[in-house]
A and B are shown apart, each in its own frame.
Chain A
Amino acid sequence: MLDCQCPKCRCETGELIRNGSFEVRSSEPNHPFQFWEEVFPNLAQVTNDPALTNIAYEGFAAARFNSLNTMEELNKSVILQQTVTATPGCLYRLSFAENLLIKGNGGAAAVPIITAKVIYIDNYGNAVDLIVVPVLKFDQDRDPDRGYVYHEATADVPVPCGVSELIVRFEYFENSSMGSAWLLDGVSLRAVFPTSTCCQCKTRC
């Protein structure tokens, strides 16, 4: 068979996210699940307690974002993220499933939000978004405990030619007194097309 592609220009054919199903817990500090890091916890956390994470989309476990209960309505947030190696010039698709189990209470601003992002850090240290999926739950009667919902988003632009590392990040935020509980599972990041847009130049192949 004729193969006219530059091998180094091929995008990944497999899954880029490790432990996207959250089946493997971790005892490492700030890593509730293997390969996943919890950062900037503020009155919220990502729990791996088996008794609280057994409502799974696939497999037996999910990640659970929990806000702590407070006397006052306060901002609560936490980030769960994983760094993955990517191929410059490739276009990627993020997918995941989420399930808001409990919606916290509070005033009008008590709207739990999970924002799924795929970002890279540019040469100046700035985080640049490739994919952003904001999921907001406004309705106490119609949003919580409705089972898992699948989401899928494809970047409109490929990874820049000088970038080989991406961060897949789930940012959780709410302003509440009684906190919410939100499940996340089935996280996947895959290349959409087989060939990198950066491979036209041999020095980049």
Chain B
Amino acid sequence: MQKHLTTAEKNKVKGVSDLGRTIPGDCCPRPPCVNTTQVSNRNDNQVKIEIEGSKCCCIPKCPCESGELVRNGSFEMLSVEETQPFADWRAVNALPNTIVSRIPEDMVPVAYEGIHSAWFITQPSELEQHFISLQQHVTVTPGCIYRLSFAENLLTATGFSPSLIGRVFYTDNAGSRVDLISIPITKDNTADNLNKGYTFHQRTADVPVPCNVSSVTVQFDFAVRDTGGTIWLLDGVSLRAVSCASSCAQDGCAVNGDICQPANLVRNGGFEDLTGFQGTLFQYWRQIPEASNIAFVVNETDIPYEGVFAALFIGNATPVAESKTVALRQAVPVTPGCRLELSFAENFLQRGESAGSTPRLIARVYWVNDSNIEFDLIYVAIAKIDGESDVNKGYSFHKRTADIPVPCGVNNVYVEFEFSVNSTGNTRWLLDSVQLRSLLWEPVCCSDFKGVDKHA
């Protein structure tokens, strides 16, 4: 059957309501439907469309990139320029005592993936301050939201608190650099932070690239005060779009990003705000039970994953072995119908005497019904069973996507991390960088959507 559509009908098929509001619809980059053809060159609003069930789809006109944007993010391609170590990357702002290099001649590769990685190295000099940036300019699509990923490995340090900051920024009309993503990593020069292998990092911008911006810079700033000898490795740099349609579209392209927001829904997920109450230092988090001398959560400054602080779960020493449990919980407003993705980093620091195989860290995202029954959307159980080979190995990154969306009618979920152990000695477990995001997929239910606040 063939039919000529009115403008309103055409908009409805495109995903635009009669009121002109964007309605969640198709946003996947793909060629136009072959069933849709323009029948008159004189009237752009007139289309011929074959309607057969729901086989014909909306046509996105503003897709974000589906591929990798960073070139040579694995640093496998070396530069032909003598002044630059890697193809597509530029070392800038370097003090003369700081370099970014390929594998030094007296070392063997230590790579995250592939063979090569970028080696940030400080050299001996009278000047203690060391600094260098490694950057790449990337063409992006205005209105799209991007995610930065990379892996780093602090091999050696001789000074205090070397730092590596991963950034994605653009330059505004006034010439100022505006960060879309910033991942600051500072590590004290302690055995707990050095030579622990690669640690993966990933963060999504809370806002899209502005509509008048089509280029961003991916940059890593390395700094330390030392006498030379610090080595920090970087590898696996990636920048990808997480949205599939631009929010800058002016032509009715369906954008569902205004409903399932990709911004971090967890407040104080980095545990940087210590102005909390209800028995915990951490703002927005509630410790359960609120008061306990046996198991509790404190802030940790010596071994953060990102930023300055991490949350440290402690099962305190007791004369006899007993069960010790404590949880951190946060209520999070969510949008019904959206799919959630939880990520966090954890570091099992110490197994208490007689703890055996009992240490557990269980991450959950769940909702509670009127009968107080809990329903898991995401459940990640981490068990430390082995004696030595799973203690103090540095941070591990975890990410889990819910298989089912937030049910219709559910406006709040709980994000909870429960630590438990049965031991006499001290058991310690670090947690940092908790993020809960909605995937930019179409919500599956409910016509009356309300957006939720985003939190850094």
User: Which chain A residues have a beta carbon within 8 Å of chain B's beta carbons?
Assistant: 1-7, 9, 11, 13-15, 54-60, 89, 91, 95, 97, 101, 133-136, 138-139, 142-143, 145-152, 154, 156-158, 186, 190, 192-197, 199-202, 205
Contact = CB atoms under 8 A, between A and B. Distances in A.
Given A150-B396, A154-B68, A5 B401 contact: no
B15 A4 contact: yes
B248 interface: no
B456 interface: no
B304 interface: no
Contacts of B30: 89, 195-197, 199-200
Contacts of A6: 54-57
Contacts of B143: none
B251 interface: no
B55 A205 contact: yes
Interface string B426-439: 00000000000000
Interface stretch (B32-40, B80-88, B366-374): B32-40
Contacts of A59: 381-383
B41 to A, nearest CB: 22
A54 B393 contact: no
B57 A4 contact: yes
A13 B403 contact: yes
B390 A200 contact: no
Contact of B54 (A3, A142, A149): A3
A54 B386 contact: yes
A179 B13 CA distance: 60
Contacts of B26: 4-5, 194-195
Contact of B381 (A13, A58, A146, A149): A58
24 contacts: A2-B17, A4-B14, A4-B26, A4-B58, A4-B254, A6-B57, A55-B389, A56-B383, A59-B383, A60-B383, A89-B30, A135-B113, A136-B109, A149-B151, A149-B200, A151-B236, A157-B67, A194-B27, A194-B442, A195-B28, A201-B35, A202-B55, A202-B56, A205-B55
Given A55-B385, A202-B52, A202-B56, A197 B29 contact: yes
Given A149-B200, A200-B34, A1 B447 contact: yes
Contacts of A145: 389, 393
A198 to B, nearest CB: 8
Interface string B335-356: 0000100000000000000000
Interface of B: 12-15, 17, 23-35, 50, 52, 54-58, 66-68, 107-115, 149, 151, 155, 195-200, 202, 236, 238, 240, 244, 254, 339, 357, 380-383, 385-386, 389-390, 393-394, 396-399, 401, 403-405, 441-443, 445-447
Given A4-B15, A6-B57, A197 B31 contact: yes
B25 to A, nearest CB: 5
B389 A101 contact: yes
Pick from B26, B236, B240, B445 the residue with the most CB of A within 10 Å: B26
B390 to A, nearest CB: 5
Contact of A202 (B35, B357, B445): B35
A2 B442 CA distance: 11
A193 B26 CA distance: 10
A145 to B, nearest CB: 6
B200 A136 contact: no
A92 to B, nearest CB: 11
B108 A138 contact: yes
Contacts of A58: 380-382, 398
Contact of A4 (B54, B238, B443): B54
B15 A147 contact: no
Contacts of A56: 382-383, 385
Contact of A54 (B114, B196, B385, B442): B385
